[in-house]
């Protein structure tokens, strides 16, 4: 009874506070503010000092047409040489932490621990030490999509007997090398994107095409590899290093296009196919994939004549081994979709067909320069509430959120984006009781936006990619974000 009342009280404000009304207020003391990058997107030095080849190096070199303007990450923002300037930008912004990723191939050129590139170890030691010397805590992602090519040559994320132990060994290597100073670890960045685009529709490296089959297989292997890495940390390193280890998942908020029961159900199913696929096995009470996803893939598989579901079974042992393997919930969020129920015409096998949905955008939503990134701040609050209702009060670190434009220094639209999205996080925390403990802006500086190359800018600092010295210039948004950080939110004016 009492808990019902508390629940009621917690949810009442959702209905009493107008959706787009600005909430003044500050975050709880100790709320953590950060900014992020990923190795391949900023480092450059793609073959410097003994670094091995990754699947992104291979893709941009062997198939230059796959990247807009044939851009590559060969030099990128040259953070391999200019990391001290990145640290200065982070310090100037006043962040508490910097989320960056390790390039697996810079540390272990073959992907395995028997060959160590000491120059790579020295680079990350220097970066970590510079951060700490400037009062910025490192948050390290082990894997942000740049698999060592030699591992891909043996099947990569589709080869369970290779990749699961290889990732666990690599994780142990990184914990051992850097865990005395790094207390916040993320295993995988957005396994959904790696699965669906890397091993499904062929949009990202390693460009494997097999939608509805290989995406699911790589997804399960990523879950297993993540779990093994977490167990390594938990058993071998946590006792002495006392840090935290988690996974980062991406969510698009799925809003039903109409209030028809079928569309409401379709939006819920889409959330399960997007976030639940990876979150349910780790953060729910019982583990395993979401029931609606298992049901949908099994039904489509049967209709298509497959002898069994294309969604590979986790099995009892793995269900238990994966369950609970994240010390917090890392969340990347950018945008919202409208979802309606729709049975796809024709035949074939695909991840999208499995969902019986169609996604669209409301034409009234403001756009960014990236087609998929519509500005829908209220979706953020709904997503955070959904996570709370699905998985309880697990601490949530927002590990990415940001806005794409074409690169102007007076980036007023980016400022509006950050203010509005961060305000929705504030509402989730203050009005709804969501346990969000940190927020990360993507990105501290302009970088290589994957297949969009350098055409799309997410930075708080501009990088001039036409200048060999890659100078950084502070944008207006960096000043605005620094103000939000120093105010710890939006105090009443």
Q: CA-to-CA distance for 41 and 67, rounded, in angstroms?
A: 13
Tell me the window of 67-75, 119-127, 186-194, 466-474 that interacts with ligand PNW (CB under 6 A).
186-194
CB of 246 to ligand PNW, least distance (A): 15
Q: CA-to-CA distance for 158 and 131, rounded, in angstroms?
A: 36
Each residue 106-145 as x (binds ligand PNW by CB under 6 A) or -, in order, gives ----------------------------------------
The answer to the question of residue 442 lying near ligand PNW (CB under 6 A) is yes
Each residue 189-228 as x (binds ligand PNW by CB under 6 A) or -, in order, gives xx--x-----------------------------------
CB of 442 to ligand PNW, least distance (A): 6
Each residue 400-419 as x (binds ligand PNW by CB under 6 A) or -, in order, gives x-------------------
CB of 334 to ligand PNW, least distance (A): 5
Q: CA-to-CA distance for 216 and 462, rounded, in angstroms?
A: 38
| Residue the block writes with tokens 């975050």 | 27
CB of 90 to ligand PNW, least distance (A): 18
Each residue 39-58 as x (binds ligand PNW by CB under 6 A) or -, in order, gives --x-----------------
CB of 291 to ligand PNW, least distance (A): 24
Cα 46 to the center of its chain, rounded Å: 22
Of positions 53, 71, 215, 250, contacts ligand PNW by CB under 6 A: 250
Of positions 252, 322, 441, 480, contacts ligand PNW by CB under 6 A: 252
CB of 38 to ligand PNW, least distance (A): 5
CB of 221 to ligand PNW, least distance (A): 19
Q: CA-to-CA distance for 19 and 169, rounded, in angstroms?
A: 47
Catalytic residues: 190, 400
* Smaller CB separation from ligand PNW, 228 or 449: 449
Tell me the window of 26-34, 239-247, 260-268, 327-335 that interacts with ligand PNW (CB under 6 A).
327-335
The answer to the question of residue 38 lying near ligand PNW (CB under 6 A) is yes
- Write the DSSP symbol of residue 65: G
* Smaller CB separation from ligand PNW, 71 or 449: 449
Q: CA-to-CA distance for 410 and 469, rounded, in angstroms?
A: 22
The answer to the question of residue 146 lying near ligand PNW (CB under 6 A) is no
* Smaller CB separation from ligand PNW, 221 or 336: 336
Shortest CA distance to 396 belongs to which of 362, 427, 440? 440
The answer to the question of residue 298 lying near ligand PNW (CB under 6 A) is no
Helices (H), 242-359: 261-271, 277-283, 291-303, 316-322
Written as six digits, the tokens of 409 are: 């220094």
Binding footprint of ligand PNW, residue count (CB under 6 A): 14
Tell me the window of 331-339, 349-357, 413-421, 429-437 that interacts with ligand PNW (CB under 6 A).
331-339
Q: What is the CA radius of gyration of the chain?
A: 22
Of positions 22, 24, 365, 372, contacts ligand PNW by CB under 6 A: 372
Tell me the window of 42-50, 127-135, 161-169, 188-196 that interacts with ligand PNW (CB under 6 A).
188-196
ω into residue 347 within 30 of 0, thus cis?
no
- Beta carbons within 10 angstroms of residue 343's beta carbon: 8
Q: CA-to-CA distance for 461 and 384, rounded, in angstroms?
A: 28
Taking a C-beta distance cutoff of 8 angstroms, is the pair 368, 404 a contact? yes
| Residue the block writes with tokens 């994939």 | 289
CB of 242 to ligand PNW, least distance (A): 27
Cα 261 to the center of its chain, rounded Å: 31
Q: CA-to-CA distance for 223 and 228, rounded, in angstroms?
A: 9
At how many degrees (to 10) do helices 160-178 and 214-232 cross?
A: 40
Give the three-class secondary structure for 454: coil
Q: How far is CA 237 from CA 185, 223, 230, 246, in A?
A: 12, 20, 10, 14
Q: Which residues contact ligand PNW (rule: CB under 6 A)?
A: 38, 41, 189-190, 193, 250, 252, 332, 334-335, 372, 400, 442, 449
């Amino acid at each position: 009874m009492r808990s019902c009342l508390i629940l009621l009280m917690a949810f009442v404000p959702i209905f009493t506070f107008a959706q787009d009304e600005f909430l003044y207020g500050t975050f709880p003391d100790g709320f953590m503010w950060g900014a992020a990058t990923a190795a391949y997107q900023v480092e450059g030095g793609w073959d410097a000092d003994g670094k091995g080849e990754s699947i992104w190096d291979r893709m941009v070199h062997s198939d230059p047409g796959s990247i807009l303007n044939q851009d590559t990450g060969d030099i990128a923002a040259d953070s391999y040489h200019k990391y001290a300037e990145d640290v200065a930008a982070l310090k100037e912004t006043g962040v508490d932490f910097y989320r960056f990723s390790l390039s697996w191939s810079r540390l272990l050129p073959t992907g395995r621990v028997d060959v160590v590139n000491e120059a790579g170890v020295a680079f990350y030691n220097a970066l970590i030490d510079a951060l700490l010397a400037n009062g910025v805590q490192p948050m390290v992602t082990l894997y942000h999509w740049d698999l060592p090519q030699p591992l891909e040559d043996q099947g990569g994320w589709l080869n369970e007997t290779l990749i699961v132990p290889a990732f666990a060994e690599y994780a142990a290597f990184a914990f051992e090398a850097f865990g005395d100073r790094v207390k916040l670890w993320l295993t995988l960045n957005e396994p959904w994107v790696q699965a669906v685009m890397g091993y499904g529709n062929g949009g990202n490296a390693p460009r494997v095409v097999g939608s509805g089959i290989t995406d699911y297989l790589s997804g399960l292997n990523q879950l297993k590899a993540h779990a093994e890495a977490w167990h390594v940390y938990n058993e071998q390193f946590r006792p002495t290093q006392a840090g935290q280890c988690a996974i980062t998942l991406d969510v698009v908020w799925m809003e039903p296009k109409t209030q028809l029961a079928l569309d409401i159900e379709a939006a819920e199913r889409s959330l399960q196919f997007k976030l639940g696929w990876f979150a349910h096995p780790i953060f729910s009470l019982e583990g395993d994939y979401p029931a609606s996803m298992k049901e949908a893939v099994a039904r489509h598989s049967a209709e298509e004549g497959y002898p069994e579901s294309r969604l590979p079974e986790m099995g009892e042992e793995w269900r238990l081994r994966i369950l609970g393997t994240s010390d917090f919930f890392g969340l990347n969020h950018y945008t919202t979709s409208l979802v309606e129920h729709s049975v796809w015409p024709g035949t074939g096998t695909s991840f999208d067909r499995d969902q019986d949905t169609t996604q669209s955008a409301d034409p009234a939503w403001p756009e960014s320069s990236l087609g998929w990134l519509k500005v829908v701040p209220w979706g953020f609050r709904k997503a955070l509430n959904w996570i709370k209702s699905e998985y309880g009060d697990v601490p949530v670190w927002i590990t990415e959120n940001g806005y794409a434009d074409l690169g102007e220094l007076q980036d007023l639209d980016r400022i509006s984006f950050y203010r509005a999205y961060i305000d929705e996080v504030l509402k989730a925390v203050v009005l709804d009781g969501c346990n969000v403990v940190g927020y990360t802006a993507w990105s501290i500086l302009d970088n290589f936006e994957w297949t969009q190359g350098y055409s799309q800018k997410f930075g708080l600092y501009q990088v001039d990619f036409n200048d060999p010295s890659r100078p950084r210039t502070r944008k207006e948004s960096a000043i605005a974000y620094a103000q939000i950080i120093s105010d710890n939110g939006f105090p009443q004016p």
